[in-house]
Structure 1
């Protein structure tokens, strides 16, 4: 039989998310191998498009002759079979397209970089030095069974040590990840270290510096230039193991013989992919582990309900440390005789004063800026911009307020509720807190760390470091005291996972404390505060799961969001209920109108129905895209059905 090339076309159109058969002309037969970039004609569009040759197969009987491959773009096999299988499986689980995932992973071709790589001498296998291997063994020693699990393809969840490194300005968690990667590399296999952001990436790379062979450590992120990204990608395609450190898309990296995938802090929203099909790095890692049998480690200072659900099912094994470490957390409240509105209670104030004799003190606040929230001084109604209804803010006391959305100033603001013209600051941002504490601690160095003032580390000299959540710099030797402010305000956010998020923010900050240093959580009580004080984050996750189960809230169920015109969404939901047996009467929520037009509905379903629901919703997206294409030709109304699975919040 005739051999044909099966090609995945690089297109965002859902109807093109399948393999197309093309005949192979004789002049291209030698170079037409699986994994190469190709150009093919697309009859429906009347043009030539790019794609990937996924596989070779036997031609099926057809009444129409097959179109031929137009050209081979490059002889480099940039799409290994394992990467396509992973992208296909992850996309199918999320009712999306494999091409959308590959677009996130495979960089654009850089001709000069590719020629340099093809002409370069073959790489040598990396060798981990004896000192580095001994260091890694010592780092992993407090976790009995972790090394065996990481080399045997197990799935584990572990709590990282909540303290700074003893010899470098970084967290001990970064050394734990580096040690796992070094042991995997020493065994001749690759390791993927997936972290949320650049700060975490820098910490892990610093832990690997001077320990791992330099040519074996690959930094994978979108901040590098195109040639750098493509050169790193080509290095991963070589038959030699590597340590890859990067953000959420690193979970798909086509490294040679991956032995261990580590996902750090999977509760961080930066690990949730915003682009279609929106596969979370945690879910992609689970799919990869199932396909390839590599070890999978979920590490963090807290435990998400998503990972705890897997632990409860026995799919992921909880691997505790031999000796439990925890910071000294104090639930600090106002004492008798103190003003209930006091922002820093006397106990926390005294702890900061004493600690400043020895080194830096961290103060975590909820928001950046001077006063992020302004209210009417008479009726306490939040102030809004007259032009766009955005929140007003003030940079300094007495300054003219401006809008946080459109930036317009509001010198003649009037309250819409009581017509008052007086404003009052209702909250304190990082800059206002710095001013207040600067007056309370005269002569002490003040450091502000937030989005507008990014600071990665501070020295061990006395200083008050005012930082927003997630922007706390690492301190040499750790902070001598930590004060967590605005906790009650953080918990007031109307989000299902706000308790988890607060516990993660506070735990990550507490892990920056020097051994024995006090951590004061101000003005918070309840389950989240107790979990932080007793350092029992997994127990809090278990309690959250128990509460959400009867209410059918994620992650005890999966949730899909369906957006589009009212007619399309209603028809999709009706056909889904008929096609998928087992969807209960409360499975469908909505639809409700959207401000941008159209409607949105949510579908709650058990994990056992995941494949059927995803397949049906994907078919609905393809059918709607074909209808929209016909409507565009007829110049009729065009609608687009959007589907996203595994929505973390039931937010209509």
Structure 2
């Protein structure tokens, strides 16, 4: 029987029917605010602006401002945030649709979006780079967790202001009235700053507003958390830190976003925390380098908080035992006032501070007092202090013998493979390279051929070993990056710590030995004196007051001005002097600086594009470029502070022009770098 085939027209009709049945009709466009303005995740300067997209009817409810979405951009599906919904677009061309709402959770609030824009403009960066810092990556499982509304209500907030009794009451009174005071707080030596922060947050929360408190590192954050628990209760605050891990961090972020607590504490990762009805931002020890972000556009948490205070009209508090040059410049500008105790109160709370070799009598008794690493007087002070409590020994270098030199000619001992510095990790074993780790058992000095080496500087572990032999029977403990102590008891002990890792002692230290002052000041950084003063004041503030026998001895040159600032206990005077010297040298914060790093041709091209964008009165000055390695150079451009906004805007325009033309080479722009030298 012959096989008959279908007519061609019937086959075509059948295929069209199948194709139509498989194709889903696109949803219509919503009639209510059909345009969404979206910040697309594209880190190109010339595309740093929002783009308009149409909102499908089935996504209209979820695509609200702050929600994460997927959109089509340059032929790819990219992430983005909805910034706002509009009735119409000012774009003349055809608009694409939003492809998908990744999450209806409105994680980018309007206040934080405005802050991200301000930070991007302040640092010549792009909006998407800042939102990556502000909004942690999404975890769908955490978003699905129910709100913890079944928690018992927090206890009534404490109204105590005991930690603030040495200072004028005007700042907290203004916070209580929901006003927006701004202050640079210089704490009295020995002050419990964590309790002061917690009490200030309680005053703000009692007034019905939120508070954001920042600590420099995880150890200080734990101490702040303990104080907040005592004042605010377990449910009275949220801790937000990158150390929590991705899931816990996102959970804490959502808790702050959903208003589970009025108070948020954290490290620099919390600077953008979405605190509802923000009334106070506070930061402890703003000079700590941990507040400087290592990712583009490299914002400093201090500047983020000050921008929040301005944009959101809230109170701001920068506190510390020391005062940074930037904080002094903020006072000078009139943006903030000074919050400091009476001079008599400071003298009564400060320890007695001495510098080795500062008197003729001491030099007559110990002629090597100024040159010795541990002069006789330092041993005497340590011995006397150990009779009644712990003694702190600050050593600026970690390790055992972190740097070696030739025994004969004092030439630096370096690795034959990579030219890294040779070091000793302990009493036994050969020297090894600090970079590649290779042992150097057969090392000979390339200058004189001597195989013997000696220490250039002594690390904290070697110092602890030497002190253990000098004070037999006394417990010696070390605190550093590898093992950091949070707190020690009031029993006699020697605590050897690197700068920044000094534990708090119950009742305070009886004495402190601040070693190798020359090494702190010899760092190849123009900020070295400021950083040394900050480290010394932070350590000395842990010592008991002079009336209670507290003594600090600084091992260094008595004529050095940074050491004299510690003797007088005058952090505010030192900071003012720093600002004046930087104004003369045209350095930040008295001038606006930007560091440009990249291939030589790219840096040169960026500078040439920058010049015509600035007015002659801007006073542009270019320093460099200088070689960093075979492929990379660094240049610094600067203007007077008054022309700083113009400089940053021009830098971004020049960078955008390069990316538009797809010029080869990438240039990293860092505005107001935290260190320079």
TM-score by length of 2: 0.89
**Equivalent residue number for residue 381 of structure 1:** 411
SS for the counterpart of 1:550 is helix
- Aligned pairs, number: 629
- Offset of residue 191 of structure 1: 0.9
Shift in Å, 1:438: 1.0
> 2:329 matched to 1:309?
yes
**Aligned-residue offset at 1:308:** 0.6
Preserved CA contact (<8 Å) 1:241 1:256: no
Measured at CA, do residues 215 and 556 of structure 1 come closer, stay the same or move farther in structure 2, by a change above 3 Å? Answer: same
**Any residues of structure 2 matched to 1:545-560 within 5 Å, and which?**
545-560=579-594
* 1:181-208, Cα deviation, whole Å (9 max, x unpaired): 1111111111111111011101111112
Match of 1:147 in 2: 172
Q: In 2, are the aligned partners of 1:583 and 1:605 still within 8 Å (CA)?
A: no
2:232: which partner in 1? 212
Q: Find the aligned partners of 1:620 and 1:331 in 2 and give their Cα distance.
A: 51
Aligned pairs for 1:264-275 within 5 A: 264-275=284-295
Measured against aligned partners, the alpha-carbon deviations of 1:27-47 in whole angstroms (never above 9, x if no partner) come to 2122221111111111x1x22
Are the equivalent residues in 2 in contact too, given 1:621–1:642 (CA < 8 A)? no
Match of 2:366 in 1: 338
Q: Residue 615 of structure 1: CA displacement?
A: 1.8
* 2:194 equivalent to 1:161: no
Which residue does 1:174 correspond to in 2?
194
Correspondent of 1:600 among 614, 634, 643: 634
2:394 corresponding residue in structure 1: 364
- Aligned residue in 2 for 1:114: 143
Indicate how the Cα distance of structure 1 residues 566 and 347 shifts in structure 2: closer, same or farther if over 3 A, else same.
closer
User: How far, CA to CA, are the matches of 2:327 and 2:123 in structure 1?
Assistant: 18
Aligned partners of 2:619, 2:367: CA distance in 1, in Å?
51
Aligned to 1:12: 43
Cα distance between partner residues in 2 of 1:127 and 1:437: 48
Other-structure match for 2:122: 93
- How far apart, in 2, do the equivalents of 1:125 and 1:254 lie? 22
In 1, Cα distance between the equivalents of 2:146 and 2:645? 41
Matched, 1:468 2:498: yes
2:204 to 181, 184, 190: 184
**Structure 1: which 5+ residue stretches go unaligned?**
165-171, 632-637
The alpha carbon displacement at 1:17 in A equals: 2.6
SS at match of 1:253: coil
Q: Secondary structure at the match of 2:317?
A: strand
Within-5 A mapping of 1:40-439: 40-42=71-73, 44=74, 46-60=75-89, 62=91, 64-117=93-146, 121=149, 128-129=156-157, 132-134=158-160, 137-144=161-168, 145-150=170-175, 151-163=178-190, 172-239=192-259, 242-322=262-342, 323-324=345-346, 325-333=349-357, 335-338=363-366, 340=368, 341-397=371-427, 399-439=429-469
1:576 aligns with 2:610: yes
Q: Give 2:555's match in structure 1, choosing from 504, 518, 522.
A: 522
Structure 2 counterpart SS, 1:285: helix
SS in 2 for 1:117: coil
Distance in 1 of aligned mates of 2:634 and 2:320: 34
Contact 1:143 1:321 in 2 (8 A): yes
Give the unaligned 5+ runs of structure 2: 1-30
Preserved contact between residue 93 and residue 610 of structure 1 (Cα < 8 Å): no
Structure 2 residue 510 is the aligned partner of structure 1 residue 480: yes
Quote the offset at 1:63 in angstroms. 5.3
Alignment of 1:522-541 (within 5 A): 522-525=555-558, 526-541=560-575
Distance 1:140 1:554 in 2: 32
1:39 alignment partner, one of 70, 94, 99: 70
Deviations 1:291-340 (A, max 9, x none): 01100111001111111112122221012124334222122326324252
1:496 paired residue number: 526
1:595-618 residue CA offsets vs partner (Å, 9 max, x unmatched): 151432111112322222222211
Q: Alpha carbons of 1:405 and 1:567: their partners in 2 closer, same or farther (altered >3 Å)?
A: closer
Shift of 1:586: 6.5
The 2-side partners of 1:273 and 1:179 are apart by 28
| Inter-partner Cα distance in structure 2 for 1:213 and 1:241 | 11
Report the CA distance between 1:406 and its aligned residue.
Answer: 0.7
C-alpha deviation, 1:68, in angstroms: 0.2
Q: Is the 8 A contact 2:468 2:476 kept in 1?
A: yes
In the alignment, is residue 542 of structure 1 matched against residue 542 of structure 2? no
1:459 equivalent in alignment to 2:492:
no
When residues 83 and 61 of structure 1 are mapped into structure 2, their CA distance, relative to the original with a 3 A threshold, is closer
Q: Measure how far apart 1:649 and its partner are.
A: 4.0
Deviation string, structure 1 residues 71-99 (Cα, Å, up to 9, x no partner): 11222111110000000011111110121
SS at match of 2:83: strand
Asked if 1 retains the 8 angstrom alpha-carbon contact of 2:218 and 2:243, the reply is no
- For 2:231, what is the secondary structure of its paired residue? coil
Distance 2:259 2:641 in 1: 37
Q: Distance in 2 between matches of 1:293 and 1:332?
A: 48
* Aligned-residue RMSD, C-alpha: 2.0
